Amino acid sequence: MVKRRTINIGFIGLGIVGQGVWKHIQRNRAELEQRLGARLVLYRAAVRDPAKKRPVRIPPSRICVDPLAVATDPKVDIVCELMGGTTLAKKATLAALKCGKIVVSANKALLCQSGEMLFRAARKGRGHFYFEASVAGGIPIIKVIREGLVANRFDLIYGILNGTCNYILTRMDQESLTFEETILEARRLGYVEADESLDLDGWDTAHKAVILGHLAHGNWIKLRHVPVEGIRRITLEDIRWARDLGYKIKLLGIVSRDSQSGKIFVRVHPTLIPKDNILAHVDDVYNGISVTGDIAGTTVHIGRGAGQDATASAVISDITDAVSALLGKPSTLPAEEEIGGEIFPAPEAELADLSEISGHYYIRLNVVDKPGVLAEVSAVMARKEVSIASVIQPKVSLGKRATLILTTHTSNEKIIQETCRNLKKLKNVLTAPFLLRIADFKD
């Protein structure tokens, strides 16, 4: 074994998200550590109740109740602030940054309120502040805007940034439920924050819009300059009338810049989105963000905005960048690593066989137009145990020829290709069958 540098991670808050982060680091540890060339250690954690049973194993001596103790511990390299709130969390974050540490944060409220101060502290202490998890959880939108689209100026960024509101609006639309009925269900499913106003009155969306505004323009717009409207007054009838007019209602956070004057505007309000806009199809708890850059044009990014796993994915991405920064390496290393001059490539992939790729199929046949042909075709398919899901025989006169459209239940590539070869041999099948796959990807 080659000795790798050990990176000590301190957690402030070890609740749902913190435990998710550690669980997933454990699961992918070998791959992650190989890629990073470093060992990741859960070194210390500050929690409210040290006695509480947790699935994450950490020696009792490494658990404390004082966020500042973790934030300022000289042995801690990276501090993950996952406690939330803007008082104690702010104190701890500033303390860590003053010590020159790297802070990884999911705290959008704190960032929105004190972003400027946090960044200043990071620069002064020569540390870093990462916050991918603060906006749109599983979608790496911070990285997309800041690095992937770095060449661009952004005249318009808007998005569905609050999964709870989107869930409520989607349910109202699809199930014809009232706001009151839907909110009861959302509460039951634990989708609504303890402080409901954060979600329903648009404040959570506003926090995220302010962060997007900073990414786009380098300025921290004050929350008091952001007009914010929530979704409480939207009725089922609004949703229906909007639909009749060709729209869907979504709560949007919008950061726009007037290309002439350069003036910036950040706002949050429910919006009627035309059905041909892709964001009109982003439903349920999903988030979706449209980013218009002056060079790349418009890109749209869709994914889960919250939840233990999606948020953990973002935090781990930040931790990875933090480790790269600590080691002075670019964060864009390939999956292979050079150790002591020798290169250990990824193990050879085992390729799947055609018979292991299963799915539904669409087959178009050009056949002779006479009785009994469908029976012949069906018999060929039955011999290969390919089960027919639907048959269309379009009533189009093609002289003595006809078209048959078949779709199948689940089969596999090998069998379906053999079936097509056998169909081609039939005297009444005039040209090679045309095969298309039907997507049945499970998300």
Inter-residue long-range contacts of 143-149, CB under 8 Å, 24+ positions, other chains counted:
143/317, 144/291, 144/299, 144/301, 145/212, 145/215, 145/216, 145/291, 146/215, 149/291, 149/293, 149/296, 149/299
The answer to whether 321 contacts a second copy (rule: CB under 8 A) is yes
- Specify the residue, 62 or 146, whose C-beta has the smaller distance to a second copy: 146
If the CB atoms of residues 64 and 99 are measured against a second copy, the closer one turns out to be 99
* CB closer to a second copy out of 62 and 232: 232
Residue 353: how many other CB atoms lie within 10 Å: 10
The H-or-E segment that residue 373 falls in is helix 373-383
Using the rule CB under 8 A, which residue among 93, 166, 290, 411 binds a second copy? 290
Q: Is 303 in the site for a second copy (CB under 8 A)?
A: yes
Among residues 274, 382, 383, 421, the one that binds a second copy under rule CB under 8 A: 274
Tell me the C-alpha distance between 9 and 357, whole Å.
42
Task: Give the three-state DSSP class for 19.
Answer: helix
Contacts with a second copy, 344-363, as mask; x by CB under 8 A: -xx-xxxxxxx-xx----x-
Whole-angstrom Cα distance, residue 101 to residue 318? 14
Radius of gyration, CA atoms only, the chain? 28
CA 101 to CA 122: how far, in whole Å?
Answer: 8
Decide if residue 258 touches a second copy (CB under 8 A).
yes
Positions 327 through 346 that interact with a second copy (CB under 8 A): 328, 330-332, 334-336, 338, 343, 345-346
116 binds a second copy (CB under 8 A): yes
Tokens of 189: 């499913």
- Pull the structure tokens for residue 104: 């990884």
Residue in this structure with the two tokens 């005249």, named with its chain if needed: 155
**Contacting a second copy (CB under 8 A), which of 196, 238, 376, 418?**
238
Residue 241 within binding range of a second copy, rule CB under 8 A? yes
User: Per-residue string for binding with a second copy, 414-433, x by CB under 8 A?
Assistant: --------------------
Instruction: Determine if 278 is a binding residue for a second copy (CB under 8 A).
Output: yes
Q: Which is nearer to a second copy, 96 or 314 (CB)?
A: 314
- Does 412 bind a second copy (CB under 8 A)? Our answer is no
Identify which of residues 272 and 426 has a Cβ nearer to a second copy in the complex: 272
Supply the residues annotated as catalytic. Answer: 208
Q: Does 261 bind a second copy (CB under 8 A)?
A: yes
Under DSSP, the state recorded for 387 is P
In the set 15, 119, 418, 424, which binds a second copy (CB under 8 A)?
119
Least Å distance, CB 93 to a second copy, is: 15
- Residues from 5 through 34 that contact a second copy (CB under 8 A): 24-25, 28, 31-32
- Does 175 bind a second copy (CB under 8 A)? Our answer is no
What are the residue ranges of helices labelled H in 141-266? 141-143, 163-175, 179-188, 196-200, 203-217, 236-244
One symbol per residue from 138 to 167: x for binding a second copy (CB under 8 A), - otherwise; what is it? xxx--xx-xxxxxxxx--x-x---------
Calpha distance 253→206 (Å, rounded): 6
Give the burial class of 407: count Cβ atoms within 10 A of its Cβ; 0-12 exposed, 13-18 middle, 19 or more buried.
middle
- Considering beta carbons, is residue 299 or 428 the nearer one to a second copy? 299
Supply φ then ψ for residue 291, to 5 degrees. Answer: -120, 115
Q: Is 263 in the site for a second copy (CB under 8 A)?
A: yes
- For residue 392, state whether it binds a second copy (rule: CB under 8 A): yes
